[in-house]
Structure 1
Amino acid sequence: MKYYYRAIALCGFISLLSSISPAISIQPSPILIVQNAAEDLFNSGLAKSEAGDIPGAIADYTAAIAINPNYAKAYNKRGIIHGRYLKDYPAAQADFDRAIEINPKYADAYYNRAKVRYLLKDKPGAINDYQKAAEFYQKDGKTEDYQDAMKHLKRLEQ
């Protein structure tokens, strides 16, 4: 019985504190809930993509973007699917453009956009994007990715 009264007292104290300061609230943050939902959909999209469920992966990435319109990684992954599996290069480029707009230092998005630009016969754009990708990979210490971007860049510059 003694513990029951302590629990009631503690609940009352927490309720009192939460009404005084929103920082002590026991309610989850709506922003955190939204981000978790977007991340869950992103992870589901990854799993579906790996399992070969391309329409399901696109749907999950699109839903993640609807929840968080600034989710650069979701745009990048959706762009990869548009390009690699659906051969919809303009849609892929639009997704990579948006990922780069959100995060101008997103090396993977530059690298992926370079591939798409090359397929769209935009060699100068592809060269520029490979240069940017290599620059950011080098700054991030991603040696293998840097070397890969440089390999593609040297081929295009010949």
Structure 2
Amino acid sequence: MILGALTLAGCQSTNQTDDMIRVDRAQGSEENIASLSSVINSNPQDPEGYNVRGSAYGRAGEFSRALADFNRALELNPRFYQAYANRGLVYRNMGKPVEAAADYNAALKLNPNYDVAYIGRGNVYRQAGRIDEAFGDFNRAIQLDTTDGRAFHNRGLIYQLRGQHDKAIDDFSKAISLSPSSPEPYNGRGVSYVALNDDENAFADFNHAIELDGKVAESWANQALIYERRGDKARAAKSYSHALGLDPKYIPAQAGLARTRG
């Protein structure tokens, strides 16, 4: 039961956040947008300006404005495959996977070697349960010698789902080497270590994920489960409680706290 809960904890938030836009309100500050708008005003026929500002709006959570900028960029240059992929990511954040997949397909039709679009489309497929197609897209990005750690991380999640934990660990390790400041692959690798009964390495990974970003509920719940496996219910309950303080709806933490409280 604990391993099942840990697997859920290790995969749930990464399924939701990996390749998603991390909202950064500073990107949408008046000063930043004004600067980007000034560039556009000085050359209103340059699609790149709209693409850059659209990305800034997206990171700020201003999705409608982001879409407007990407639409304008594509009006000016219908072959702007990067803008298609960027718009696809915004659609995915908006919960519109059909539109997202269509944009990734459009990007790949224009540039069949665009690794970013394979990664983005692979995530759309993975979230839709189309695992084999997702695996194919992540593989293709890796075959193109991508330096984007998300391709390895996401393929690692599929290996993990298939019970191929040695291969998953290799992929998470590669993702870590490419994106050392991201907590997600540490959580992913930790889950596979637990599946192989290597709690020591798992605990180290979960703790490092917390060091990188202490605001991720998944990391605290994973740490708690190691405490629970060790029989230390007091520390487990404390970490589960911390996870719930970050995300009161996080089911693995709710279930873990119920098991260890008292």
TM-score by length of 1: 0.68
Do residues 121 (structure 1) and 143 (structure 2) align?
no
- Deviation string 1:99-132 (CA, Å, 9 cap, x unpaired) is 1111111111101101101222322211111111
Counterpart CA distance in 2 for 1:157 and 1:104 is 28
1:143 offset after TM fit, Å? 6.7
Q: Is the 8 A contact 1:130 1:153 kept in 2?
A: no
User: How do 1:14-33 and structure 2 match up within 5 A?
Assistant: none
Correspondent of 2:50 among 17, 38, 41: 41
Alignment of 1:151 with 2:159, yes or no, is no
Match of 2:90 among 81, 93, 100: 81
Identity, in percent, stands at: 25
Q: Which runs of 5+ in 1 are unaligned?
A: 1-32
Higher mean alpha-carbon deviation, 114-123 vs 148-157, is at: 148-157
For structure 2, the 5+ residue unaligned runs are 1-42, 164-262
Partner Cα distance (2:92, 2:148) in 1: 25
| Preserved contact between residue 131 and residue 158 of structure 2 (Cα < 8 Å) | no
Give the corresponding residue for 2:245.
none
Match of 1:101 in 2: 109
Among 65, 85, 92, the alignment partner of 2:74 is: 65
> Quick one: distance in 2 between partners of 1:123 and 1:45?
30
TM superposition score normalised by structure 2: 0.43
Measure, in 2, the Cα distance between the counterparts of 1:157 and 1:101.
30
Aligned length: 121
User: Structure 1: which amino acid aligns with 2:86?
Assistant: K
The structure-2 alpha-carbon separation of the partners of 1:101 and 1:156, relative to structure 1 and needing over 3 Å to count, comes to farther
Q: Looking at CA atoms only, which structure, 1 or 2, has the larger radius of gyration?
A: 1
Greater RCO, 1 or 2 (C-alpha within 8 Å, sep 6+): 2
Aligned to 2:143: 135
Give the deviation of 1:55 after TM superposition: 0.2
Distance 1:156 1:125 in 2: 14
- Matched position secondary structure for 2:46: helix
**RMSD (Å) for aligned C-alpha atoms:** 2.1
Name the aligned partner's letter for residue 153 of structure 2. Answer: D
Describe the shift of the 1:124–1:49 C-alpha distance in structure 2 as closer, same or farther (beyond 3 A): same
More helix by share: 1
Q: 1:79 to 1:143 in 2, by over 3 A?
A: closer
